[in-house]
């Protein structure tokens, strides 16, 4: 689980709620018609822009921002180097029993063990990466659209409230409370856009980049193994995917050993 996302959402909501409570009565910030205009209007606009299937699928995609935490690239590289040592020592068929840390890695190892040629491995795994990025981009677009629509419907709700207020100005004492209610829709729209929809869209974009990087590492490793590249050469080639600090840290560690090998 990604603790940063949870802390961000809970912390942001907590700060807003605490500020409301400290400032006075919290009940005045709850208005059902305003919620209906912002939430209902945002959902309606989203369903107009996107097919229902994409909107519903974006919910499962958004769960990745909260639940799935990808394996760091340096650990993936370490695992792939270890698998390359097994392949070099025991042959590609030995990868069939190798333990993979994610489904994409398992697929790559299965292709190698089954004797797929380099061209087919490149074609199939590259297509997997492209389609994954495409699915993620749809989820990002849905939440980015909701982040754009929420403030707009907040303003619409405010205008509706102002019209209702101005049409009934016989009692000046009601103008202040009516104005406050009218402004609540703007508040709801701004909060949903800047605390929920836009941050989730940005987090999904980051997750997509991280997943693509990990899969690129696995793809390059699989192709190198099919070409018979040594584990040492593969490790040096994969270091380019890492930040300089992480790269220096790996260079200071002993070379990864095949699974089951005993340390000397």
At residue 252 the predicted structure's pLDDT band, cuts being 50, 70 and 90, is low
Cα gap 135→53, rounded to integer Å: 12
Taking only the tens place, the pLDDT of each residue in 124-143 is: 999 999 998 888 899 899 99
Contact 48, 145 (CB under 8 A): no
Q: Does the pLDDT of residue 260 top 70, yes or no?
A: no
**What is the percent of the chain where pLDDT is above 70?**
89
Q: Does the pLDDT of residue 64 top 70, yes or no?
A: no
At residue 264 the predicted structure's pLDDT band, cuts being 50, 70 and 90, is very low
Q: Does the pLDDT of residue 37 top 60, yes or no?
A: yes
Token look-up 């584990």 returns 231
Cα gap 113→105, rounded to integer Å: 12
At residue 38 the predicted structure's pLDDT band, cuts being 50, 70 and 90, is very high
The whole-number pLDDT of residue 259 equals 46
For the chain, the residue count is 264
Q: Does the pLDDT of residue 253 top 60, yes or no?
A: no
Of residues 80 and 61, the one with the higher pLDDT is 80
The whole-number pLDDT of residue 250 equals 61
Of residues 219 and 99, the one with the higher pLDDT is 219
- Token digits of residue 219: 């793809």
Cα gap 208→144, rounded to integer Å: 15
**What is the percent of the chain where pLDDT is above 90?**
37
Cβ neighbours for 36, distance < 8 A, ≥ 6 positions apart: none
Q: Give the burial class of 146: count Cβ atoms within 10 A of its Cβ; 0-12 exposed, 13-18 middle, 19 or more buried.
A: buried
The whole-number pLDDT of residue 263 equals 42
The whole-number pLDDT of residue 166 equals 79
In this prediction the pTM is 0.80
The whole-number pLDDT of residue 130 equals 93
Residue from 255, 246, 263 nearest 82 by CA = 255
Cα gap 161→70, rounded to integer Å: 46
What is the residue-averaged pLDDT of the chain?
85
Taking only the tens place, the pLDDT of each residue in 165-181 is: 877 777 777 677 677 77
The whole-number pLDDT of residue 112 equals 92
For 70-99, what is the mean pLDDT?
89
């Amino acid at each position: 689980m990604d603790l940063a996302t949870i802390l961000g959402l809970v912390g942001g909501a907590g700060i807003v709620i605490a500020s409301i409570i400290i400032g006075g009565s919290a009940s005045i910030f709850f208005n059902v018609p305003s919620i209906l205009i912002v939430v209902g209007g945002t959902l309606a606009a989203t369903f107009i822009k996107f097919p229902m299937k994409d909107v519903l699928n974006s919910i499962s995609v958004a769960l990745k921002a909260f639940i799935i935490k990808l394996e760091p690239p340096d650990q993936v590289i370490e695992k792939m180097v270890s698998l390359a040592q097994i392949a070099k020592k025991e042959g590609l068929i030995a990868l069939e029993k190798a333990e993979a840390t994610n489904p994409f890695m398992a697929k790559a190892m299965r292709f190698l063990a089954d004797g797929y040629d380099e061209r087919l491995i490149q074609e199939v795994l590259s297509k997997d990466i492209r389609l994954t990025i495409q699915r993620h981009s749809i989820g990002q677009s849905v939440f980015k659209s909701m982040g754009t629509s929420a403030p707009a419907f907040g303003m619409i709700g405010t205008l509706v409230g102002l019209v209702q207020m101005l049409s009934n100005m016989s009692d000046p004492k009601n103008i202040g409370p009516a104005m406050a209610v009218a402004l609540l829709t703007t508040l709801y729209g701004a909060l949903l856009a800047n605390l929920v929809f836009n941050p989730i869209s940005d987090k999904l974009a980051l997750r997509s980049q991280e997943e693509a990087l990990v899969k690129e590492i696995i793809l390059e490793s699989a192709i190198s193994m099919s070409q018979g590249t040594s584990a040492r050469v593969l490790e040096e080639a994969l270091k380019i995917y890492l930040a300089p600090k992480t790269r220096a840290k790996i260079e200071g560690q002993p070379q990864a050993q095949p699974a089951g090998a005993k340390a000397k």
